Copies of this chain bind each other. A is one copy, B any other.
Amino acid sequence: MSESIASAMPAFRDFKNHVVLIGAGTIGLAFAALHLQFLSNPNQLTIHDIRPDLQEYVCENLPRYLNPLQHDLVSEIRLSTSASTLRNALSKATIVQEQGPENTAFKKSIWVRIEQHVSPTALLWSSTSGIVASIQSEDMKDKCRLLVLHPFNPPHIMPLLELVPSPCTNQKYIDQTLEFWRHRGREPVVIRKETIGFVANRLAFALLREAVHLVNEGVVSAREVDNIVTTSMGPRWAIAGPFKSYHAGGGSGGLAWWFKNIGSTVQQCWDDMGRVNFGDGDWEERISNEAAVAYGQIDTEERDRKTKAVLRAVVDSEP
């Protein structure tokens, strides 16, 4: 079990669910690792992917997402590479979670196939980063079953899960999904409209745009932006989000005081913000080169170890 989960909640064993993951990319493997924390038996998990080397691939790559004590579970996961093995897995599934190619035609057709074979009570989730449920479900008989479950990478570590129903998704599936993930120490948040990019990425990309602008203007380098963020709003926002932080900044007057007293400064910054775009000049190349020189190849194991330490620190420092 990952340490962050272990410190966040009591362990429990899920004897009930049968999970079928469709697509074994990095997001698929990370979700496999996450589901394995809770399933009573690894044979309650099926990973389906049409790659012919699925077995070697999973055996080689999935252990990187797991605690060493769990490595021997990998061989007991069910693997599926054909239509018939998928059909068989779907017939017993209580949860089907898709993270295949980001391709509308693929997603529309896979849900039609899934729907033919899966129990009418199974939960159907797509971990797309952008193709909304109302489009993916267009050709389904029951369009109200599907919802998007968008993680923040890597999902076996980061608590956030954005639940993005289509306008017609049945509330009971939303509620069951919320309960499922809350019970597993995750932070599922329902996004109430099918917005481009959902919410977390939009917020991060808003900051990124201003960061690119300030680098373009010669105010700071890309590496200095990173240093600024990790030593100020990063650690602050690990504890309290922007509204809560500014509400605290307003003292006894709260956010109302802060808006009233700092608002004109904020507005000046908003008015001065850059509207840089992809394809404007050569910034993509310049900033990529700067990052390559500054960071080389990033060690994501180190990143993940530190991220777990930060998440644990937030929980452990509760009074």
Contacts and interface: CB of A to CB of B under 8 A. Distances in A.
A225 B244 CA distance: 10
B284 A259 contact: yes
Interface in A265-319: 265-270, 272-273, 277-278, 284-285, 287-292, 294-295, 297-298, 300, 302-303, 305-314, 316-319
A156 to B, nearest CB: 14
Contacts of A204: 207, 232-233, 242
A246 to B, nearest CB: 8
A289 B256 CA distance: 8
Contact of A226 (B232, B240, B265, B303): B240
Contacts of A152: 231-233, 236
Interface in A235-258: 235-244, 246-249, 252, 254-256
A50 interface: no
Given A197-B272, A269-B196, A226 B242 contact: yes
A183 to B, nearest CB: 16
Contact of A317 (B268, B277, B305, B316): B305
A115 interface: no
B313 A309 contact: yes
A263 B242 contact: no
A187 interface: yes
Nearest to A187: B231
Interface stretch (A63-71, A137-145, A210-218): A210-218
Nearest to A246: B208
Contacts of A313: 306, 309-310, 312-313
Contacts of A101: none
Given A196-B272, A237-B238, 17 more contacts: A189-B220, A189-B227, A193-B217, A200-B232, A203-B210, A225-B241, A226-B244, A230-B237, A234-B241, A235-B238, A244-B298, A247-B292, A254-B288, A254-B292, A259-B288, A263-B284, A306-B317
